[in-house]
Amino acid sequence: MSQDIVLAFSGGLDTSFCVPYLKERGWAVHTVFADTGGVGDDERAYIEARAKELGVASHVTVDGGPALWEHFVKPFVWAGEGYQGQYPLLVSDRYLIVEAAIERAAELGTRAIAHGCTGMGNDQVRFDLAVKALGDYEIVAPIREIQKEHTAVRAYEQDYLKQRGFDVRAKQQAYTINENLLGVTLSGGEIDRWQAPGQGARGWCKPRGEWPSRPLQVKLGFVGGEAKTLDGKPVAGHTLLAKLNHLFAEYGVGRGLYTGDTTIGLKGRIVYEAPGLVALLAAHRALEEATLSKQQNRFKPEVARKWVELVYEGFFHDPLKTDLEAFLASSQRCVEGEVTLETHGGSVSAVAVDSRHILNAKGATYAQAADWGVAEAEGFIKLFGMSSTLWAEVNRK
């Protein structure tokens, strides 16, 4: 009798390969697709049909959008930093996928979990550490198992599937594509060869020639640093992000080409598209700049960078991440108001901010008017710069 194993499944090349590979080694494969909001009805139906075609023992689709917003998007926007100053952690849905797989394993009474991560990337670290943090499970990673014997892993996977009568979609032959509520990442092909991305390396964001001629304006309302309204109407977080993805992708917002230092030490080069997250971050930062104190604005990026590093490198369940989130949550208590975003295409700007917590001085406006005089200004400058001035005086030749 075959032993049950739960496979985190996306319908892509790697997880499609895993199904017959595991079956041929005596496993009864139960696939779980954690729908984190990045795919439409057609793609969701394709994933379910693909699982059935591959001959899985069972397949379930789990709605992961609300959990992804609550456990990742909200603290990520509070942090306001990308990894290495750019990358918006678009594959952080992996942690919610692990939780969905473990829930399914509990239903089936098995402690075997499989994933389609390679031994070359970061996702294997995220999956394995998340599983280990949540319990004692056997982890099976077929792609890691084959890569010692087959250096051209993707070509081997494609041939393996074709020999068993399973087609491989054209876009999966050229690129590794990850798509969820957070955005799209593409790697492989000419991207890995440090060349300009080809026409096929495109996800949601429209190219410049297809941008609408009229600018787009969107108003976001925040309470406690969390986006709650879109153009004045209350919207659930994961739905709001999906709407922002659609609106700003039409204008090509949120697309980037990024090279980063991966967890295992390689250089990782990807094309990413995150129209909704980039818009959210722009609005939130504008509101923070106006409502946080000078010291908060200076110190908070240090906490944010550490939080981002922990999430990027797989330490989603590390207690330090929880500690940092407590600080981030505290910093958001006065981040409340509305921000108007505007784009003409390619980038997005926060053009207006309205909040009762804006730190306006009643008697002064920067570079315009002040309720202090010359003596006060000169005294401040003298004391503020005393150390530097003294050094110059003592060491002047």
DSSP-H helix ranges across the chain: 13-23, 41-54, 65-68, 74-79, 94-108, 123-134, 142-146, 153-163, 170-174, 189-192, 237-249, 275-291, 294-312, 319-331, 374-384, 386-394
| 252 φ, ψ (degrees, to nearest 5) | 70, 20
Query: So what's the pLDDT on residue 172?
Result: 57
Q: What is the DSSP string of 307-376?
A: HHHHHHTT-TT-HHHHHHHHHHHHHTTT--EEEEEEEEESEEEEEEEE-TT----TT-BTTTB-SS-HHH
Domain boundary among 181, 214, 237: 181
Query: So what's the pLDDT on residue 270?
Result: 94
For residues 236 and 162, what is the distance between their CA atoms, to the nearest angstrom?
43
Cβ-proximal residues to 57 (8 Å cutoff; 6+ apart), any chain: 2, 4, 28, 29, 30
172 and 205 in a single domain? The answer is no
191 and 310 in a single domain? The answer is yes
- According to DSSP, residue 264 is labeled T
Joined together, the tokens standing for residue 46 give 């394709």
Q: Confirm whether pTM is higher than 0.85.
A: yes
Query: So what's the pLDDT on residue 253?
Result: 98
Is there a domain that residue 129 lies in? yes
Is there a domain that residue 394 lies in? yes
323 and 192 in a single domain? The answer is yes
Is there a domain that residue 360 lies in? no
The low-confidence residues of the chain, meaning pLDDT below 70, are: 1, 38, 170-173, 363-367
190 and 333 in a single domain? The answer is yes
For residues 186 and 55, what is the distance between their CA atoms, to the nearest angstrom?
28
For residues 265 and 82, what is the distance between their CA atoms, to the nearest angstrom?
18
Is there a domain that residue 116 lies in? yes
150 and 11 in a single domain? The answer is yes
**How many domains does the chain contain in total?**
3
54 and 157 in a single domain? The answer is yes
Is there a domain that residue 326 lies in? yes
121 and 97 in a single domain? The answer is yes
Query: So what's the pLDDT on residue 316?
Result: 97
Is there a domain that residue 110 lies in? yes
pLDDT in tens, 33-83: 999 876 778 889 999 999 999 999 999 999 999 999 999 999 999 999 999
Query: So what's the pLDDT on residue 275?
Result: 98
CATH of the domain at 163: 3.40.50.620
Joined together, the tokens standing for residue 240 give 């709001």
Domain boundary among 138, 161, 181: 181
Specify whether the CB–CB gap between 272 and 184 falls below 8 A: yes
224 and 346 in a single domain? The answer is yes
Query: So what's the pLDDT on residue 178?
Result: 84
CATH of the domain at 190: 3.90.1260.10
Joined together, the tokens standing for residue 304 give 């944010």
Is there a domain that residue 41 lies in? yes
Query: So what's the pLDDT on residue 78?
Result: 98
Sole residue written with tokens 């954690």? 34
Listed as own residue / partner, the contacts of 157-165 with beta carbons closer than 8 Å and 24 or more positions apart are 157/13, 157/14, 157/17, 158/13, 160/17, 160/20, 160/21, 161/13, 161/16, 161/17, 161/20, 164/20
34 and 120 in a single domain? The answer is yes
Query: So what's the pLDDT on residue 364?
Result: 67
Cα 297 to Cα 86, 338, 377, distances in angstroms: 19, 19, 24
- Indicate the length of the chain as a whole number: 397
Query: So what's the pLDDT on residue 165?
Result: 94
Is there a domain that residue 359 lies in? no
177 and 80 in a single domain? The answer is yes
Q: Note down the domain range covering 380.
A: 365-397
177 and 296 in a single domain? The answer is no
- Whole-angstrom Cα Rg for the chain: 25
Joined together, the tokens standing for residue 232 give 């004045």
27 and 171 in a single domain? The answer is yes
Domain boundary among 181, 214, 242: 181
